[in-house]
Chains A and B, each alone.
Chain A
């Protein structure tokens, strides 16, 4: 799993590549929470390179969402691969997160 952080418009874009599973979830959590704790309140999780996500990974998304909502910020997901999007749809997590089709749409508002 690799994480790349950049900024676009007012948003901090966190690109995640590879697998977010039991082994990599804690590292992903540390990186993501560090971004939130650095003061970024508008975050886009670019999932274009995300190949696999397990329940540990989904929990990191939930933790991040909770922290950002508490800080009155925004967390958006974008560019989910069809299989990952299906995981979100099947599990019902699509209704918890704001999901955009592409990075441009996600960073618009």
Chain B
């Protein structure tokens, strides 16, 4: 029973979040990696916390309230941070799920440690509180970290500042939880009601954002690529802009810019099409040349350089979401 109450709620919560991912943004492999990272981060935190307790000679309660939340939130967040930096996370939905998985892994390891290593023979109520309260709090804090960070990136805020803000929010909630300002039962109930509600709202908003993003860009990109394929690009504003670049770049660079733009459109359309197919449960279309095209795009990106990319910014902005979108093609 101890096992069921302390481990099951967080896993069920994670599965529920995974099922809410309409667009199947989350890959099972990465999800498992996050869960395992959570376990590893619990182990890392355990040693770091013990080391700090010895070095700082702090009372257990002071450490649990102020220091442990910081080390634990940093440890859990590291993989999420790496995934976001490598453009493997694009929206609040996948950010929340990966973040929650890392926190869930941490909570699973922590509760197992209490059950098996410390052999705590405490009242069942404590395990219910740990399972429904502490474990969900761990998942929720890392999920919040991920959602706030991806939100900052999407709004093009300073990356370092976004990391700090996201970490601060996770830390405050974790530290507040460890202070037990509220009755533990009430605190657990609050976590169990507020977090699902928060996730529901964020998922709804993120889904709408994703749909709007698909709607606006998909049609424009198809229209643009259609014009390019028909040789009518000159008559469009994008074509006029490309022609205007002749004054500033050599003919070779203009050709590279043109092909870069055209290839980007093709790959972007395919990435979005795949999202639509995944959303509706269709198998993805096998395209053996996709990796070659991605390599070619990277090669062209190198050839046109930063200046070329800047010049193309009115047409193609290679920001986080664009790179994430192209990464999705690799994963398929």
Give Cα A66 to B281, complex, Å: 8
Stretch of B101-109, B119-127, B186-194, B213-221 lying at the A interface: B213-221
Q: Are A59 and B282 in contact, CB atoms less than 8 angstroms apart?
A: no
B212 CB, min distance to chain A CBs, angstroms: 8
Number of B positions contacting A (CB below 8 A) = 22
CB nearest to B218 among chain A residues: A55
Chain A residue at smallest Cβ distance from B265: A90
Q: By the criterion CB–CB under 8 Å, are A63 and B280 in contact? A: yes
- Residue from A54, A65, A95 with most neighbouring chain B CB atoms (10 Å): A54
Cross-chain contact of A96 among B222, B266, B282 (Cβ < 8 A): B282
Q: Say what secondary structure dominates the interface of chain A.
A: helix
| A54 and B215 form a contact (CB under 8 A) | yes
By a CB distance below 8 angstroms, the chain B residues around A55 are 214-215, 218-219, 272, 276
Interface membership of A34, Cβ < 8 A: no
How long is the Cα–Cα vector from A90 to B222 in the complex, in angstroms?
A: 7
Task: Count chain A residues whose beta carbon lies closer than 8 angstroms to a beta carbon of B.
Answer: 19
> Is there an interface contact between A90 and B218, defined as CB atoms closer than 8 Å?
no
Q: For the complex, is A83 an interface residue (Cβ under 8 Å from B)? A: yes
Q: Does B270 contact A (CB under 8 A)?
A: yes
Residues 51-82 of chain A, each 1 if its beta carbon lies under 8 Å from chain B, else 0: 00011101100110110000000000000000
CA distance A95 to B282 in the complex (A): 12
Q: Give me the interface of A with B, judged by CB distance under 8 Å.
A: 22, 54-56, 58-59, 62-63, 65-66, 83, 86-87, 90-93, 95-96
The chain B residues found within 8 Å of chain A, CB to CB, are 211, 214-215, 218-219, 222, 225-226, 229, 266, 269-270, 272-273, 276-277, 279-282, 285, 287
A-B contact pairs, 14 of them (CB 8 A): A54-B215, A54-B218, A54-B219, A58-B276, A59-B276, A62-B277, A66-B280, A66-B281, A90-B266, A91-B270, A92-B270, A93-B273, A96-B277, A96-B282
